[in-house]
Structure 1
């Protein structure tokens, strides 16, 4: 631990210790100005007062705020804060926070929070959160009923919306996590095997909640007949591979039966051409609507139609593309990129756990 980190922890410990020994902030004043505690208009009694307006040149330690507070480096309040609170580095409030709170690095609220909480790196709420948290990392140790927006979102009990790359909830079956990786206790996790008319075999892993989950998928197919791509010869039944990402939602029907609506996009890799895959457009985009027939609590079979849009600029013989397509109702070329559309179908089996 470097000197700067040790100093930050020491300052935080001193602030918390002082706050625990401070009197209730029952007194109120229209405003106060502090250079740094206790060099301010309220002096050593600053934590006994709730101010309508608070200006802290470096940092201030006050009882509370009910309108506006601005701190060059940081603001620290032992009681409720409402209105607007802005700090260059950090805000720390020991009780309830209501309104708009912004900090360049972090906001730490030990009570409940309501409103918009925004920081550059970390928002921490050690109570319930009913507003909007926006930061790189958002943490709520109580119940989150609002919205978390960040790279990493965590809630002990989530009944709101998490929008981020990674969403985590210790309890969250009623939540709505929207992101790439959603780890939700009591959520929806499933492995699925399916077959279609273009990609003959597919394997998917799904994670999130039934209302909204992420799909990681791989698949394979066979080229129907001799052909070539950029001078490389295809033999009959050569393998084409795919990998992709998607999102979906399960809608309850009756009993164990459910309707799945899913969108996905898969990169097609043909002729083992991994080296140049980023230089080529070769994607199969799908909208799948499948009816799941439950065979119990965990197992279901499904079937349904799919709407397909294939976009490719690989050369296969005299045509663009490398995926075997049964037919198209739309087939147009745009500056060497072929766009083909058709309606197909899916059948498969799903195991959820």
Structure 2
């Protein structure tokens, strides 16, 4: 294959162009390409003949190109000649043999080393320097020497041996080829023939499946489009698009889109999208989207989205979203996992993040720290508001609570018990003694800081009361709104004392057959007591106090 490398240059000064080169054991082909690119020099040579993988070494600073080429090619069999605007390279198998032959004997030194007191005598006695007999080397051909004025003899070189043949180059075979259009029936059957992988097309039409070196414009395929290098523009395929390099533009595939390098634009597929390296795009797919590197933009899918790097983006899916790095927002029906979260996470089951600057909404929320609000049945914040509490009140005498979450929003898991001296009828007999009532509750709360050691807790809680029995089947719900003042025992202490008023609302359908009334009897005096359609509502105020760890 014959190559031309470079951009057109003026003919007269091509070999006198000054260059600076520094190559140490560099492949000849690499050096030629860099010289061509850096100095607008156009080389022409056959890669089947010129040893482009041979190592060369050269170091010149601001020297003419011919001087630099002589130095660089001195250890190779490659020779050069300027023809028109090109520098033609060829191989001379005898070059190194010729260079290795011994040079003729040195010419005697005729420059005086001291001052001659009689210059006129020196001039009159000066004799012509002796010349070594010129021997006719075997390699320069068969023609005899010619005598020139002054006594010199030259040999007329054999033109058949030393002629550098005129070389024509075909632009259609350039490794940097770009064409207006191509059409393919299959990947191996198209207008670019066997060179389809080396050609970049502005317009590519693939009836079934086509394979191209690159696309700068538009590519349309009935089934598949395959590009070895890059795409700048749009790809549309009935089934799928595959690109080995990067894509700047838009991909639409009936089933899939796969990009090996960077993706910058839009990907839309019926099943899935896969991108490598950095992705700045909107990805939409019926099943899933996967980004192997960092992702910037939006991922939307029916099942799941995955970003193996930073996801400075929003992820929306039917099942789950995952990001190994930070993410802006995640929305799914099952769970979301990420590193740092900038905006928030929403799912029906689970959200997991490290540093969450926004919110988390889900059944279970887990984070290291959160500056926003975690809203869920269970919120676990490693560096959050996590307390154990023991307290007493007029309704339930002994209470234990576990509070988990953030200061902005935390969960309360509560258990309490009370005991009363009562007479109870069981199986027709009257029992007198001390009987207990107990409750299990759940609530939410928030914290308002008043100082380094003082804060206020506002809490809402609902507790099911099992009154005088192991489990009360009827509705018997104690609802409380609490406002308590919390004072820590020291600036660094984890122990605090708290207390405050409580508003109680008891809603009960518990029926007492002895009195024929509905309602609970665990409360003291009430300021509201009404029964409608078998549901009794009582209200009263109380007090709670205790310690927190």
> What range describes the TM-score normalised by the shorter chain of this pair?
0.7 to 0.9
Contact 2:314–2:327 (CA under 8 A) maintained in structure 1: no
Instruction: Determine if the alignment matches structure 1 residue 64 to structure 2 residue 263.
Output: yes
Kindly provide the CA deviation profile for residues 21-80 of structure 1, in whole angstroms up to 9, marking residues without a partner as x. x9996x521443251354xxxxx45x422223x2222221135252x4322211112342
2:409 to 181, 204, 212: 212
Task: Name the structure 1 match of 2:236.
Answer: 32
Instruction: Determine if the alignment matches structure 1 residue 55 to structure 2 residue 264.
Output: no
Contact 2:386–2:404 (CA under 8 A) maintained in structure 1: yes
Contact 1:106–1:121 (CA under 8 A) maintained in structure 2: yes
Aligned-CA RMSD value: 2.6
Structure 2: how far apart are the matches of 1:29 and 1:233?
90
Task: Name the structure 2 match of 1:164.
Answer: 362
Distance 1:295 1:260, change over 3 A: same
Structure 2: how far apart are the matches of 1:37 and 1:280?
63
The alignment's TM-score, normalised by the length of structure 2, stands at 0.53
Task: Name the structure 1 match of 2:326.
Answer: 128
Structure 1: how far apart are the matches of 2:378 and 2:427?
37
Partner SS for 1:130: strand
Kindly provide the CA deviation profile for residues 210-251 of structure 1, in whole angstroms up to 9, marking residues without a partner as x. 221111110011235435699896645310010011111121
Contact 1:282–1:312 (CA under 8 A) maintained in structure 2: yes
Structure 2: how far apart are the matches of 1:163 and 1:130?
15
Which structure has more strand as a fraction of its residues?
Answer: 1
Structure 2: how far apart are the matches of 1:231 and 1:290?
46
Offset at residue 320 of structure 1 (A): 2.2
Offset at residue 268 of structure 1 (A): 0.7
Distance 1:339 1:232, change over 3 A: farther
Instruction: Determine if the alignment matches structure 1 residue 291 to structure 2 residue 485.
Output: yes
Task: Name the structure 1 match of 2:379.
Answer: 182
Instruction: Determine if the alignment matches structure 1 residue 148 to structure 2 residue 345.
Output: yes
Structure 2: how far apart are the matches of 1:323 and 1:60?
68
Matches within 5 A, 1:1-353: 27-33=231-237, 35-38=239-242, 44-45=243-244, 47-52=245-250, 54-62=251-259, 63-66=262-265, 68-78=266-276, 79-83=278-282, 85-93=283-291, 94-99=293-298, 101-114=299-312, 116-141=314-339, 143-150=340-347, 151-169=349-367, 171-223=368-420, 225-226=422-423, 235-274=432-471, 277=472, 279-296=473-490, 297-316=493-512, 317-318=514-515, 319-351=517-549
Contact 2:443–2:459 (CA under 8 A) maintained in structure 1: yes
Offset at residue 120 of structure 1 (A): 2.2
Larger Rg: 2
Offset at residue 115 of structure 1 (A): 5.2
Offset at residue 114 of structure 1 (A): 4.8
Offset at residue 81 of structure 1 (A): 3.6
Task: Name the structure 2 match of 1:3.
Answer: none
Partner SS for 1:238: strand
Contiguous gaps of at least 5 residues in structure 1 = 1-21, 39-43
Q: Which has the higher contact order (CA 8 A, sep 6+)?
A: 1
Distance 1:230 1:268, change over 3 A: farther
Contiguous gaps of at least 5 residues in structure 2 = 1-226
Task: Name the structure 2 match of 1:41.
Answer: none
The alignment's TM-score, normalised by the length of structure 1, stands at 0.80
Q: How many residues align?
A: 314
